[in-house]
Amino acid sequence: MDPGEILDLFVQEASEMIREFEQGLILLERSPGDSSVLNRVFRAAHTIKGNAGIVGLESLAEIAHAMETLLEAIRKKTIVPEEPAFNALLTALDLVRVMVENVRAPVSSDRLAEARRIRAQLEACLKPAVAPYVKAAGPEPAPVSAQTATISAPPGTPAPAPAGDAEVESAAPAAIDSGARSESVRVNVRILDRLMTLAGEMVLTRNQLVQSTRLGDLSHIERVAQRVDLLTAELQDAIMATRMQSIRFVFDKFNRTVRDLARDLGKKVRLVVEDEGVELDKTIIETIGDPLTHLVRNAVDHGIESPEERQTAGKPAEGTLRLRAWHGAGQVVVDVIDDGRGIDADQVKARALSLGLARPEEARTMSPKTAMELVFRPGFTTASEVSQVSGRGVGLDVVHANLAAIGGTVQLDSTPGRGSSFRIRLPLTLAILPSLLIEVEGERFAVPQAHLVELMRVRAADVRQRIERVGGVEVTRVRGELAPVVRLKDLLGIAAPTFANGGGERRADRRVNLADRRDRPADDGLRAAPEKSAKTADARPAAERRDGPDRRVSAASAVNLAIVSAGDHTYGLVVDRLLDSIEIVVKPLGRNLNHCRCYAGATVLGDGRAALILDVVGLGRRAWIAEKAEAAAATPRAAGLAAMEQHEKLAVLLLTGGGRDLFGVPLDMVVRLQKASRAELETVGGRRVLRGPKATTPIFTVDQAIPAQPLPDNDSFYVVLFRLGKRELGLLAADVADIAEMNADFDTETHRRPGIRGSTVLGDRVMLVLDLREIVLAVAPEWKEPEEARDAGGPPRRRALIVDDSPFFLNHIAGMMEEAGYQVTKAENGAAGLNLLTRDPDGFDIVLTDIEMPVLTGFEMVERMRSNPALRKIPVIAVTSVLGAEAQRRGKDVGIDEYSIKLDRDDVLERCRRLLERGRPSAAGPGDGR
């Protein structure tokens, strides 16, 4: 090994020992009796000394030796360690650190003098009866004096070696190392092994690809291409893992920072660190050092009060500063929480106004929460004198800017007297982003998946209901909360070309409410005058029109909403189309554009065109989302709206397939779940089956019906057993992840294809809801019951009308009834259902209806049925997801015969059968059983 390499190794190991020493010493200071910590610290000093000697760094070895001697005395209990001793040791450590950093340069005479001084200090501590260490004038260990400590250089920069007394101070800045960029990383060998394995796989697959391309075998190429897809994803994961570092790396440094700062300011502060093993990309780790340092110093300096002040306020004399890191929805969250004096929103407002950072009208309507965020505006300084300790009032706006540069955000929450909490949100990695592609006016944009909460497609007939104007703001209900809704088109000023119905005339779209007709000037969305609707009358028969008698909106004005989260605020973006979920490579925008708040970068799509990535937070600011949310929430209507109409829930069994695929199967369709080993699966007559003790079950996999990753070649699988008609069948899955509850009206458009009912976003992944029947029929189409065979012989099929406004339940129940042998007709709401019945009173034997529906509810429909002699006799079952006594009573009054829980298939079918057999009970008596 050449001398350069030896030195490198030395530096690496010494740096680790320095870190060990520092952590241990600070722990030791708090609990001096802990002998295991003492031993650790001793060993660290010893190692440094030994290694320094080997590489010939004499002065370094000497200092380490002095440190070791002092520690030995402590260990032998010849002296009791007190603050002066710890200070001396830490000062010595700082010098050691500086010397290790400059290991290749010869030691300057100034440094040698410093070393001598520090050694003398350490020796002085060995005398047990020494007078209390006086903060004497002259060479002092730094940093020592109280409030007015002048740190000569900003933290993080290695200080030059000035002459004379100032020298000792120069050690101090170096100690506050906020994370200098390093050129190497430590990588766990396991990850490297994984990379090797993947490389090997890549080689094999590459060989296969080359061969199959040469042979021109398309199906083989497809299979190999799938493998390449899978491998690339795994390779990407593994490579990203090599760059991940634990956030402890950053947090640990603060032990020293907090200790020293608290001492300087005469405060007592305890640092609590909770990191939950959070890891971040190296670049991000390096970049958050500075902002975090600023926040930590801020908390100790301005946040936490002096012990006297705290005791007067009834708080413990020692303040607590909590650093917490955890994962949430594709982001890492870092909290800096103190229990200090807190920040008064009114004072912040006043200061901002006096500095001209906020306009009076703005300040007047601001909520306390928004006012708090004024501290992030450039030019704001919280201390009346610029405090040097916190970094010369550099300002929280720099923290904000630094974080924004890496795609992060910071928010402030505070209670005067109780404390403050800064919350930083960071992306996990900078380079590759799973995102959703959306389209507005023909332009495509990418929305990072991490910010995506939900996708909503609001049908034209529902727009008025689902999107309302509250407090002057358009909102929609998302998971029980009100979220403001904005049109992306307007927000970005994408010129809208269109339209007027059929006129061919081009006029600007001047709708104020999303529910308004496009060719009317802004009004409050009331019904169109009769003559207008006649002109644009829909020629289709009433039953086919989506909305029956209410012809205000055309089917084309359905609204697609991407619900996104910008930190604490959620809002909905109105877009024209929701396209695919794709993984994109983030590319920065040029300098002319990087101040555009609306974009977080750009990417290149599959067709080679550039597309912009939306900055959800920036857009939210531009749209005044925070203000809008508050305005809406402040109205009395808001509480009522949010509580109203909780969406029907659907329990779903979550399965994983190949690669990253996540699928869901409605729980009520699952008969049983079992595990199967590879040996139990066979292929018979070209079909896969599960060989069981009693019977053989036909097995299906998702990739047989749709393009999905094939299942990994595991030794065991999970089999989801379900029934189709009279058969019991199985769906193969790699793993069963969980059971989730989702809204029943999920997105049924974006991913719709045979085999997939729809999709929703769970956490940060897209989950595809499977249609088991379609998957089976894709593989075994001959199993579909032919209609003619039914009608030819046997009893006539019963005809059922299913009425439900949720496409999922409508299809689900219809499918269920069809399987059971009924002839099914579907209707989307009470009015449509009533129309069908009125037109053909003898056409139906039984009606299954939902209750809560737009236009005409289930109750209203049945009421009208009963007052129509032709329809009076038809039995009606209400299928609902909620069974309340009140609802049941009302139902019976109105003429509903039975109630059933829509997801309980056996119950529904049993009731149908019974009602058809016996006919309607003539008196409206209480229903039986359930």
Which CA distances in Å does 638 have to 23, 364, 421? Answer: 51, 22, 28
Segments of 100-228 assigned E as strands: none
Nearer to another protein, 622 or 799 (CB): 622
- Cβ 574 vs Cβ 405: under 8 Å: no
Q: Which stretch binds another protein (CB under 8 A): 147-155, 455-463, 604-612, 715-723?
A: 604-612
Q: Rule CB under 8 A: is residue 593 a binding residue for another protein?
A: yes
Q: Which stretch binds another protein (CB under 8 A): 289-297, 499-507, 606-614, 800-808?
A: 606-614
Interaction mask 217-256, another protein, x per CB under 8 A? ----------------------------------------
Q: Which stretch binds another protein (CB under 8 A): 87-95, 591-599, 683-691, 697-705?
A: 591-599
Q: Which stretch binds another protein (CB under 8 A): 118-126, 366-374, 607-615, 694-702?
A: 607-615
- List the alpha helices (DSSP H) in 723-768: none
**Cβ at position 407, least distance to another protein in Å:** 16
Contact pick of 277, 368, 588, 763 for another protein (by CB under 8 A): 588
**Cβ at position 442, least distance to another protein in Å:** 10
**Cβ at position 406, least distance to another protein in Å:** 17
Nearer to another protein, 589 or 651 (CB): 589
Interhelix angle 253-265/166-175, rounded to 10 degrees, is: 130
Interhelix angle 807-819/905-918, rounded to 10 degrees, is: 60
Contact pick of 56, 314, 590, 693 for another protein (by CB under 8 A): 590
**Cβ at position 608, least distance to another protein in Å:** 6
Nearer to another protein, 389 or 612 (CB): 612
**Peptide bond before 132: cis, by omega within 30 degrees of 0?**
no
Contact pick of 608, 786, 793, 794 for another protein (by CB under 8 A): 608
What string of DSSP letters covers 527-594? PPPHHHHHHT---S-TTTSTTTT--SS-GGG-EEEEEEEETTEEEEEEESEEEEEEEEE-BPPPTTTT
**Cβ at position 508, least distance to another protein in Å:** 16
Per DSSP, the three-state class of 653 is strand
**CA-to-CA distance for 641 and 797, rounded, in angstroms?**
44
**Cβ at position 610, least distance to another protein in Å:** 4
Interhelix angle 625-634/636-643, rounded to 10 degrees, is: 90
**CA-to-CA distance for 34 and 16, rounded, in angstroms?**
21
Nearer to another protein, 63 or 446 (CB): 446
Nearer to another protein, 521 or 606 (CB): 606
Q: Which stretch binds another protein (CB under 8 A): 209-217, 319-327, 525-533, 600-608?
A: 600-608
- The DSSP element (H or E) to which 367 belongs, if any, is none
Nearer to another protein, 583 or 738 (CB): 583
Contact pick of 323, 598, 625, 837 for another protein (by CB under 8 A): 598
Strands 662-666 and 696-700: unpaired
Q: Which two tokens stand for residue 554?
A: 């055309």
Residue list 300-329, contact with another protein (CB under 8 A): none
Residues contacting 547, CB < 8 A, separation 6+: 460, 461, 553, 831, 855
Task: Put the strands of the sheet holding 687-691 in their side by side order.
Answer: 670-677, 716-724, 727-733, 696-700, 687-691, 681-684
Nearer to another protein, 96 or 614 (CB): 614
Nearer to another protein, 602 or 665 (CB): 602
Q: Can you say how many angstroms the Cα of residue 763 is from the centroid of all Cα atoms in its chain?
A: 6
Q: Which stretch binds another protein (CB under 8 A): 282-290, 557-565, 602-610, 675-683?
A: 602-610
Contact pick of 345, 475, 602, 766 for another protein (by CB under 8 A): 602
Contact pick of 36, 384, 592, 683 for another protein (by CB under 8 A): 592
Q: Which two tokens stand for residue 660?
A: 């990253």
**Cβ at position 595, least distance to another protein in Å:** 10
**CA-to-CA distance for 337 and 731, rounded, in angstroms?**
48
Nearer to another protein, 527 or 587 (CB): 587
Strands 727-733 and 756-762: unpaired
End-to-end Cα distance, the chain: 83
Residue list 892-911, contact with another protein (CB under 8 A): none
**Cβ at position 602, least distance to another protein in Å:** 4
- In eight-state DSSP terms, residue 821 is T
Nearer to another protein, 193 or 583 (CB): 583
Q: Rule CB under 8 A: is residue 596 a binding residue for another protein?
A: yes
Q: Which stretch binds another protein (CB under 8 A): 260-268, 452-460, 585-593, 690-698?
A: 585-593
Nearer to another protein, 494 or 512 (CB): 494
Nearer to another protein, 344 or 443 (CB): 443
**Cβ at position 495, least distance to another protein in Å:** 9
Residue list 441-500, contact with another protein (CB under 8 A): 443, 492-494
- The DSSP element (H or E) to which 650 belongs, if any, is strand 649-656
Residue list 416-445, contact with another protein (CB under 8 A): 443
Nearer to another protein, 410 or 573 (CB): 573
Taking CA 250 as the corner, what is the angle to CA 248 and CA 423, rounded to the nearest 5 degrees?
A: 95
- In eight-state DSSP terms, residue 873 is T
Size of the site for another protein (CB under 8 A): 23
Contact pick of 591, 694, 726, 918 for another protein (by CB under 8 A): 591
**CA-to-CA distance for 866 and 895, rounded, in angstroms?**
7
Residue 417 phi, psi dihedral angles, 5° rounding: 90, -25
Strands 649-656 and 662-666: antiparallel
**Cβ at position 604, least distance to another protein in Å:** 5
Nearer to another protein, 63 or 614 (CB): 614
Residue list 545-574, contact with another protein (CB under 8 A): none
Residue list 609-668, contact with another protein (CB under 8 A): 609-612, 622
Per DSSP, the three-state class of 644 is coil
Closest by CA position to 399, among listed 419, 374, 424: 424
Beta-carbon-side half-sphere exposure of residue 385 (alpha carbons within 13 Å): 6
Q: Can you say how many angstroms the Cα of residue 443 is from the centroid of all Cα atoms in its chain?
A: 26
Residues making contact with another protein (CB under 8 A): 443, 492-494, 587-593, 596, 598-599, 602-604, 608-612, 622
